[in-house]
């Protein structure tokens, strides 16, 4: 395994969704307080000795999740075609954050204390 540095920031948002094509109680409109965790990976540090400034990463994540906060996610453009599952929420956040970070990263979305989904991709 190659050596990598990683940093992680956390955020959260509240929102509602209903799962299409699902048979069970989650097909009805319901809400969560989603936790979001972003981990950025890299092999080298900048001249300050950082992989990335926590403050910058947290601010960029904050802008993205602010657009989801207190929304009915099924009505957000991305989720009109994609089912607003935790997996797709993680992918959506990753897609929005990736051009701003330009590093390998993993986005985890937690909808309950015991249920989380992750999406990983990178340059």
CA distance 68 to 109: 13
Three-state secondary-structure class, residue 65 = helix
Burial class (CB in 10 A: 0-12, 13-18, 19+), 3: exposed
**Could you say which of 6, 14, 26, 27 is catalytic?**
26
State the catalytic residue, choosing from 32, 92, 108, 111. Answer: 111
* 26 included as an active-site residue: yes
For residue 72, count CB atoms less than 10 angstroms from its CB and return exposed for 0-12, middle for 13-18, buried for 19 or more: middle
* 94 annotated active-site: no
Residue 88 β-bridge partners: none
Tell me whether residue 70 is one of the annotated catalytic residues.
yes
Out of 6, 27, 70, 75, the active site residue is 70
Instruction: List residues with catalytic annotation.
Output: 26, 70, 111
């Amino acid at each position: 395994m190659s050596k990598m540095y990683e940093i992680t920031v956390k955020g959260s948002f509240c929102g509602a969704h209903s799962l299409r094509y699902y048979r069970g109680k989650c097909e009805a409109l319901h809400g969560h307080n989603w936790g979001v965790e972003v981990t950025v990976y890299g092999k080298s540090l900048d001249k300050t000795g950082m992989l990335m400034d926590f403050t910058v990463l947290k601010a960029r994540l904050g802008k993205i999740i602010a657009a989801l906060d207190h929304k009915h996610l099924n009505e957000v453009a991305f989720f009109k075609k994609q089912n607003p599952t935790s997996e797709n929420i993680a992918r959506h956040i990753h897609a929005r954050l990736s051009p701003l970070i330009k590093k390998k990263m993993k986005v985890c979305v937690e909808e309950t204390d015991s249920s989380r989904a992750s999406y990983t991709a990178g340059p």
